[in-house]
Amino acid sequence: MRGKKFKFPVRDSDFKYPECSNPICLGGCVLVARKPQGVAVRDSKDKKKSKTTMFFTNLEWEHFLAGIRNGEFEPIANSARK
């Protein structure tokens, strides 16, 4: 899949703003747009007209979420809190 650029149409209104009371995410959040074709991810602080959007297949996204659930990113989270 990565041989060609994976991309699909996505609008600003497709991105959902997460509800977050944690002070760590008050500076910005990751916006996620789930579509049948896959998942698009964008930084909420990116105010440029040509917003940078990363695209993932549904399988890639499921593997990413499984990594979160399995604690594969804990060292990153712990170092950010220091």
Q: Mind listing the pLDDT tens digit of every residue in the chain (82 residues)?
A: 455 678 888 888 888 876 666 656 556 678 889 999 999 998 877 766 557 888 999 999 999 999 989 988 876 555 555 5
pLDDT at 74: 75
- Per the domain annotation, does 34 fall within a domain? yes
Q: Is residue 2 part of a domain?
A: no
Domain hosting 37: range is 12-81
The answer to whether residue 55 sits within a structural domain is yes
In a domain, 6, yes or no: no
User: Is 54:65 a contact under the CB 8 Å cutoff?
Assistant: no
- What does the pLDDT read at residue 28? 66
Give the count of domains, the chain: 1
